[in-house]
Structure 1
Amino acid sequence: TNWEKPVVGIASDQGFSMIYLSKYLMNREVGFTLRVLEILRDFNLNYEHMPSGIDDLSIILRARQLTPELEEELLRKIAYEIDPDELRITHDLSLVVVVGEGMKHRVGSMAESTAALARKNINLEMINQGSSEVSIMFGIHKDREQEAIRSLYYTFFD
């Protein structure tokens, strides 16, 4: 692996929705995430990614799995069983991913990536970087996908 080039690729895909829920001290509730996953299972829904914080959780899933009726029923069940402080769904998301094993050996890849998107005034709906530091994922509105890819490309490859 070439550590001189920490980023080796940029990929994207669209057609995602994100369910966002927050609940104060959710991290202290034993089984909180399990209960959310059981609801997804009850609706026969797969999730793609599930970034979380101390008080919030985002569930990224393929939008094609949701009908308006199913979405309404799903949100109602989450609201009833989980009782979050905030619950919302965002549609029309694209996931843009910066990839490279060298990022774990170089400080600043996240900063460079977010700066590239900020220069183009691209709002970040979601950020996820696993502890392996091999990829950084950004959830953005689908209308900004190509612009985001170009900006990241110029930052890392031009």
Structure 2
Amino acid sequence: MIDALRHAMPTYPAEVTDRTTDVVPDALEKLAGVSAVANPDSLSRETRAARAAKMMSSADFSIQVARMLRKRDQAIVDMVESGRLYGFEVGQLLFLPRWQFEHERPLPGLPLVVGALSADLHPLEVEGFMKTRQDALRLGGKRISPRRWLALGKDPAIVAALAREVDEW
């Protein structure tokens, strides 16, 4: 199972290949609760592992985000640590999910929302919250996701209030 999921993982840029040797097993353990000795017949573990692999393939390394935002890698690390961007670590690597960017810029109001998220939330829970349509967020009578709400420049305080209520997604 680990080998099959390894193919679903992102291609690593040359700058980080020396730090990625063990990232797939580490990532699956952290994000999906799957170890290399996991029972391959366990559908729930396979499902979680596939979702974790998909999530990692939709995230960038801090060095990639630094290039996109024209900043130093350390500046991106500082932005995550200060809550201006959302990121999660796997081994020695910092991943930043792409859902928080629109047109290669952070979503408007993102720091307010990131600051409202519980530090105990799993990255899959954060992603689920940000990408799922919410009853409290409506545009033209239709529910939209927190990510879309922010991308449209709507009031981030409303999303932050919802984020404070997220226990589990």
TM-score (norm 1): 0.29
Structure (1/2) with the larger strand percentage: 1
TM-score (norm 2): 0.28
Higher relative contact order (CA 8 A, sep 6+): 1
